[in-house]
Amino acid sequence: MDSPATMLGPEVSVIVPVGERQADAVRLHAEYKASLDSLGRDYEIIYVLDGPRREYSDALHGLIERGERITVVSLTRQFGEATALMAGFEHSSGRVIVTLPAYHQIVGDGIGKLVAALGDCDIAVGRRWPRAGSVLERMRRGLFHRLLGWITGVRLNDLGCGARAFSRRVLEEIQLYGDQHRFLAVLAERQGFVVHEVDVAQSKDDRFTGLYGPRDYARGLLDIFTVFFLVRFTKKPLRFFGMVGLTIFGIGSLLVVWLIAEKLLLGQGLAGRPALLLSTLLVVLGLQLFALGLLGELIIFTHARAIKDYQIERVIQFSRPSSQDRAVR
Amino acid sequence: MTESSPQPELSVIVPFYNEEDNIVRMHAAIIGALEPLGTSFEMVFVDDGSRDRTLERAIDLARSDSRVRVVKFRRNYGQTPAMAAGIEQAHGKVLVTMDGDLQNDPADIGHFLAKIEEGNDIVVGWRHNRQDKLVSRKIPSRIANWLIGRVTGVPIKDNGCSLKAYRAALIKQIPLYSEMHRFIPAMASIAGPRIAEIKVRHHARQFGKSKYGLSRIYKVLLDLMVIKTVASFTSRPLLWFTLLALPLLLLGLFAIGYSLAGWLEAPGPLPLPIAGSGVILFVGGLIMVCSGVLGELIYKLGDLREHQFARLTQKVRSADRG
């Protein structure tokens, strides 16, 4: 921040994380640029290359040579889209952040809709609508999002859409990693940001023609599992580990009691009962799970001051005669 | 943040959630109670993401009274975060927390200050003539209080009463998270404070409606388990986990010894179920001791230091007597 030009900076920063799935850089850039120009705001475009992507990098440098104003951030290896987003964010300076996929997912003029929606919310996420796809596909999607809404209490309809617009504060407060970019809206909502879903037209090139394999279903389930923990138990580990641990411990102890009762009442020697092995195993495992929960609580407790579970939006106090907001944030 | 006024003696922290009918009355009641005392004070009003006109009213109050500081949450977080934020933003030497629903009477604050001046670090209110429903509120609360007292070793008759006073230097060191506002005295016991309890008036709700129900008992029980472990064993996790592992280790050794003794008497194949159970128990115990070692590591790397509390109480006491 040395010259006035960089201090002012652009108003909108567009971050495009380039991962496995990518479209022709030149065509995509032209499309995004056309719709960004029509916004009538000062903007910058940051491409984040997630891992070595030689061809894409060459294409981008070609664009730079032709005089396009873009920033290219390259990561040493593939870290995942969320990390790429954070890296791009660190190099951005706009008050409004727009993320766009590196392939044709939405029609360009959706960007304007997203940015305009920021007027009365903190984060606007795209929802591809109307959307192509078979009945089965629609059902799968509906089920996934309903399950997610039930678990997190945030009902969204298209987590897979990479087009989002949000104010800078969102990423300043939320640290993303791994695959969490898909849950940015969910996590933001949990932090108290206002989230809106905006219908954007789906690009013709986004048609998915294949069938989803078991791997995609497994991935969806894993996603739900991740969010479940992020949202429910990151601050209360014992509520989870304790529940599971005590259940296992309870089953094990019931078995032990039953075996001992049989020995005392029926005289059946414990030495000949393989069930004894099973029951001790359950008791010990249950206790260990509980102990893990305690360890988790210890982590939370010793870091409680660093991980606040609230965000103050602002502090308002008026000094005596003047009517000035002494805003902290 | 620029400090406009010197540190006030007292901060009154009131969280509000949808209390547009009560906030102005609360403000008037606090002023009516505190101005005659002649101490300097400030009010920290925490708006816990209200959806009615609470925030507008609070800002109006702040505009006309520079002693009011309004802390705005972006959404509703609940009572503990609201209290924690209020405590974080308060500048006073003594902090008083109370409910925003007018069930506590600000007129009691004077008694709390007197108790703090006597040398107590925490003063807890006791709603001895509680104006609530018997079955759904009073009886569960009495059981919970008894249980909390038994488990934490801090016998307080009414943990649920929000009207409490703290020495700021002490309470600002206590981590408050989850739903711990009910256990602040127990949490604070890691700092070894002097706790006093005094009777307070309690009014029935006049405006707005009550926001609690029976469902919280379950959470209280779980939180109680957490509090017991963190409040009494944080600084020595290895000891705590070894204590937990001891029965496993002993039982395992006993089972192994028993089967070996049988084998010495009559050599032959070891009785697998008993010897195997012994090994499982023993190894399970060992793993738990290892968890304790991990716990030591976590505590060492955490930002919570017990000697901070020790130094802190000393400082408080000497400043008092001096």
Torsional sign, CA A215, A221, A227, A229: negative
Same domain for B244 and B223, yes or no, is no
What pLDDT, on a 0 to 100 scale, did the predictor assign at position B3? 44
Q: A279 with A231: CB under 8 angstroms?
A: no
Same domain for B228 and B241, yes or no, is no
Per-residue pLDDT averaged across A64-82, rounded?
90
Same domain for B189 and B280, yes or no, is no
Per-residue pLDDT averaged across A309-327, rounded?
68
| DSSP track, A302-313 | HTTTTS-S--EE
- How buried is A77 (Cβ within 10 angstroms: 0-12 exposed, 13-18 middle, 19+ buried)? exposed
What pLDDT, on a 0 to 100 scale, did the predictor assign at position B228? 75
What pLDDT, on a 0 to 100 scale, did the predictor assign at position A34? 92
Same domain for B255 and B276, yes or no, is yes
Question: From the CA of B196, how many Å to the nearest CA of chain A?
Answer: 26
pLDDT tens for residues A183-223?
A: 899 888 888 888 999 999 988 888 665 666 788 788 778 87
B23 within a domain of the structure (yes/no): yes
- Asked if B49 reaches chain A (Cβ–Cβ under 8 Å), the answer is yes
Q: Which of A58, A48, A57 is nearest to A79 (CA)?
A: A48
What pLDDT, on a 0 to 100 scale, did the predictor assign at position B101? 81
Percent of chain A with pLDDT over 70: 91
Same domain for B260 and B279, yes or no, is yes
Q: Is the pLDDT of residue A234 over 90?
A: no
Same domain for B248 and B200, yes or no, is no
Q: B9 with B94: CB under 8 angstroms?
A: yes
Same domain for B291 and B171, yes or no, is no
At residue A4 the predicted structure's pLDDT band, cuts being 50, 70 and 90, is very low
Q: Does A280 contact B281 at a Cβ distance shorter than 8 Å? A: yes
Tell which wins on pLDDT, A191 or A248: A248
Per-residue pLDDT averaged across B23-46, rounded?
91
Contact list, B272 vs chain A (CB under 8 Å): 274, 277
Q: Does A238 contact B225 at a Cβ distance shorter than 8 Å? A: yes
Per-residue pLDDT averaged across B22-50, rounded?
91
pLDDT tens for residues A57-66?
A: 999 999 999 9
The residue to which tokens 């991962």 are assigned: A19
What pLDDT, on a 0 to 100 scale, did the predictor assign at position A17? 94
Q: Find the CB nearest A319 among B4, B283, B298.
A: B4
Q: Is the pLDDT of residue B318 over 60?
A: no
Same domain for B226 and B241, yes or no, is no
At residue B319 the predicted structure's pLDDT band, cuts being 50, 70 and 90, is very low
What pLDDT, on a 0 to 100 scale, did the predictor assign at position A62? 92
Q: What is the mean pLDDT of chain A?
A: 85
Of the three residues B232, B258, B279, the one that is the final residue of a domain is B232
Domain boundaries, chain A: 11-232, 234-329
Q: Does A295 contact B230 at a Cβ distance shorter than 8 Å? A: no
Q: Please state whether beta strands B122-127 and B164-167 pair in parallel, antiparallel, or not at all (unpaired).
A: antiparallel
Residue A96 phi, psi (nearest 5)? -110, 130
What pLDDT, on a 0 to 100 scale, did the predictor assign at position A290? 87
d(CA B275, CA B253): 10
Interior angle at CA A168, CA A164 and CA A169, nearest 5: 115
Per-residue pLDDT averaged across A291-320, rounded?
81
Residue B267 phi, psi (nearest 5)? -55, 140
Q: Does A280 contact B277 at a Cβ distance shorter than 8 Å? A: yes
Q: Is the pLDDT of residue A283 over 90?
A: yes
Which range has the top average pLDDT, A229-238, A303-312, B33-42? B33-42
Contact list, B73 vs chain A (CB under 8 Å): 192, 310-313
Q: Is the pLDDT of residue A75 over 70?
A: yes
d(CA B101, CA B124): 18
Contact list, A280 vs chain B (CB under 8 Å): 276-277, 280-281
Q: A132 with A207: CB under 8 angstroms?
A: yes
The CATH number covering residue B164 comes to 3.90.550.10
Tell which wins on pLDDT, B75 or B320: B75
Question: From the CA of B87, how many Å to the nearest CA of chain A?
Answer: 12
Residue of A nearest to B79 (CA): A310
Contact list, B280 vs chain A (CB under 8 Å): 277, 280-281, 284
Sorted by sequence, the CB contacts under 8 Å of residue B214 that are 6+ apart come out as B136, B140
What pLDDT, on a 0 to 100 scale, did the predictor assign at position A89? 94
Same domain for B205 and B57, yes or no, is yes
What pLDDT, on a 0 to 100 scale, did the predictor assign at position A2? 39
Q: Does B81 contact A285 at a Cβ distance shorter than 8 Å? A: no
Of the three residues B201, B232, B263, the one that is the final residue of a domain is B232
The residue to which tokens 């990423």 are assigned: A171
Least trusted range by pLDDT, from A153-162, B71-80, B142-151, B255-264: B142-151
Tell which wins on pLDDT, A327 or A255: A255
Q: What is the mean pLDDT of chain B?
A: 81
Contact list, B303 vs chain A (CB under 8 Å): 302-303, 305-306
Residue B36 phi, psi (nearest 5)? -65, -20
Domain that holds residue B51: 10-232
B3 within a domain of the structure (yes/no): no
- What CATH number should be reported for the domain whose range is A11-232? 3.90.550.10
Q: Find the CB nearest A309 among B81, B234, B274.
A: B81
Q: Does B85 contact A312 at a Cβ distance shorter than 8 Å? A: yes
B47 within a domain of the structure (yes/no): yes
d(CA B216, CA A115): 41
At residue B215 the predicted structure's pLDDT band, cuts being 50, 70 and 90, is low
Q: Is the pLDDT of residue A5 over 50?
A: no
- Asked if B57 reaches chain A (Cβ–Cβ under 8 Å), the answer is no
Q: Does A304 contact B175 at a Cβ distance shorter than 8 Å? A: yes
Residue B128 phi, psi (nearest 5)? -75, -25
What pLDDT, on a 0 to 100 scale, did the predictor assign at position A87? 93
Q: Is the pLDDT of residue B84 over 70?
A: yes
Least trusted range by pLDDT, from A94-98, A102-106, A109-113, B235-239: B235-239
What pLDDT, on a 0 to 100 scale, did the predictor assign at position B32? 92
Q: Please state whether beta strands B68-73 and A312-316 pair in parallel, antiparallel, or not at all (unpaired).
A: antiparallel
Q: Count Cβ atoms below 10 Å from residue B91 Cβ, excluding itself.
A: 16
| DSSP track, A207-232 | ---S---HHHHHHHHHHHHHHHHHHH
- Asked if B230 reaches chain A (Cβ–Cβ under 8 Å), the answer is yes
Tokens representing B110?
Answer: 């004077």
B254 within a domain of the structure (yes/no): yes
Contact list, A272 vs chain B (CB under 8 Å): 271, 273
**Largest separation between any pair of C-alpha atoms in chain A:** 91
Same domain for B252 and B276, yes or no, is yes
Q: A23 with A101: CB under 8 angstroms?
A: no
Q: A33 with A63: CB under 8 angstroms?
A: no
Q: Does A323 contact B63 at a Cβ distance shorter than 8 Å? A: yes
Q: Count up the domains in chain B and report the number.
A: 2
What pLDDT, on a 0 to 100 scale, did the predictor assign at position A100? 94
Same domain for B40 and B130, yes or no, is yes
B2 within a domain of the structure (yes/no): no
Same domain for B26 and B74, yes or no, is yes
Q: Please state whether beta strands B41-47 and A312-316 pair in parallel, antiparallel, or not at all (unpaired).
A: unpaired
Q: Is the pLDDT of residue A328 over 80?
A: no
At residue B322 the predicted structure's pLDDT band, cuts being 50, 70 and 90, is very low
Q: Is the pLDDT of residue A243 over 90?
A: no
Q: Which of A10, A32, A28, A165 is nearest to A91 (CA)?
A: A10
